[in-house]
A = this chain, B = another copy of it.
Amino acid sequence: MRQAGRSLPEYRSLRSGTTMLQACRTPELVTEITLQPVRRHGVDAAIFFSDIVVPLQAAGVDVEIQAGVGPVIAHPVRSRADLDRLAELDPAELADIAESVSAIRAELDAQHPDTALIGFAGAPFTLASYLIEGGPSRNHERTKAMMLGDPQLFSDLLSRLGAISSAFLRVQLEAGAQAFQLFDSWAGYLSPQDYRASVLPHSSQVFADLADLAVPSFHFGVQTGELLAPMSEAGSDVMGVDFRVDLADASSRVQTGQALQGNLDPAMLFAPWEVLRPRVEQIVRAGLEHPGGYVFNLGHGVLPTTDPEVPGRIVEEVHRVSAEILGGR
């Protein structure tokens, strides 16, 4: 469950006194924070603790994460000259990331040998939006204006960013991550037409870049119900589904053989357990109807004010229901 740490008192205590980017670049913290939800909730996989702008920072972008705002980029990318100043990502700059991954993998092997570690990176469009807007944006108007008004510059920027995403993931995979997830947090702000024309080729390239590693791949989005068909063409093994889409509809939109992931509304974790439990069961049952398979997850990140006892109860219920269904097959 993405961002599961945010609701944990042990996460907040560990993070106290460090900035987000300091935490992401300190192997002892990354290791401990990645493992906290495994210990607390008994999940089947850990997702590498990082931030979407870490590979940009490693490539030399002047970025800080401001509390209550998010990433702030000192020099936004709005021209060819700005793009020319954006360097490639040298894997040597990611020695700390490799060290974190190795340490997590070693701890998992010792204590939770069946728990997988999933690598993390932002998708080219989401990284581009941060760089073009200079930070988080409600409407992504500068990004879309560049996408339509200077499609060559936009395409070149996304190519550069796709290579950065691929390099960031490769370091994690070579250090011991056994799968990866590409997060396109802002893709849901695009029409299917624009996604297909301007974004799909670059996300596809990331999956193609890493195909030689032959590890399971996940493709995440929110508000992407209408984009499931084109996003599923990018080539991941598993396609994420937010809470707005019926799993049966999602099932009909993705590629043959592709699995689905997600669908539980994070806000449902605030409902009483007697209401939440049957929802979890309903989603697991609907997910396992999908011929390509299903990975249980929330349809978005765990909300910070979530009762930290609830995700673990959900994990137990998912294990109970799925064992019942799969045992009966």
Number of copies: 2
Grouping DSSP codes into helix (H, G, I), strand (E, B) and loop, the A interface class, with mixed when no group exceeds half, is helix
Residue of B nearest to A275 (CB): B148
Q: Does A44 sit at the interface, judged by CB under 8 A?
A: no
Residues of chain B lying within 8 A (CB to CB) of residue A272: 148-149
| Alpha-carbon separation in the docked complex, A294 to B140 (Å) | 27
Given the complex, which residues of B lie within 8 Å of A194, measured CB to CB? 265
User: With the chains together, A284 CA to B189 CA distance in Å?
Assistant: 21
For the complex, what is the distance from the CA of A203 to the CA of B189, rounded to whole Å?
Answer: 26
Chain B interface: which of A74-82, A243-251, A311-319? A243-251
A226 contacts which chain B residues (CB < 8 A)?
225, 244-246, 249
Q: How far is the CA of A192 from the CA of B225 in the complex (A)?
A: 12
Alpha-carbon distance A247/B139, docked complex (angstroms) = 21
Interface size on A, residues (CB 8 A): 37
Q: A144-B267, A144-B270, A149-B275 are in contact. Are A139 and B303 (CB under 8 A)?
A: yes
Q: How far is the CA of A91 from the CA of B266 in the complex (A)?
A: 39
Q: A305 with B141: in contact, given A149-B275, A272-B149 (CB under 8 Å)?
A: yes
Query: Scoring A residues 212 to 231 as 1 if CB is less than 8 Å from chain B, else 0, what string do you get?
Result: 00000000000101110000
A279: min CB distance to chain B, Å:
8
Complex-state Cα separation, A245 to B139, whole angstroms: 16
* Separation of A267 and B141 alpha carbons in the complex (Å): 5
**Contacts A148-B268, A225-B226, A275-B148 given: A244-B141 contact, CB under 8 Å?**
no
* Residue numbers in B under 8 Å from A268 (CB-CB): 144, 148
Chain B residue with the shortest CB-CB distance to A263: B191
A271 within 8 A of B: yes
- A residues contacting B by CB (< 8 A) are 139-145, 148-149, 188-194, 223, 225-227, 243-246, 249, 265-272, 275-276, 303, 305
Kindly list the 8 A-B residue pairs having the minimum CB-CB distance in the complex, ordered from nearest. A145-B270, A148-B271, A141-B267, A144-B267, A148-B275, A141-B270, A225-B226, A149-B272
Known: A149-B271, A225-B225, A226-B249. 20 other contacts (CB 8 A): A139-B267, A140-B267, A141-B266, A141-B269, A144-B270, A144-B271, A148-B268, A148-B271, A148-B275, A149-B270, A149-B272, A189-B267, A191-B243, A191-B244, A191-B245, A191-B246, A191-B265, A192-B244, A226-B244, A227-B244
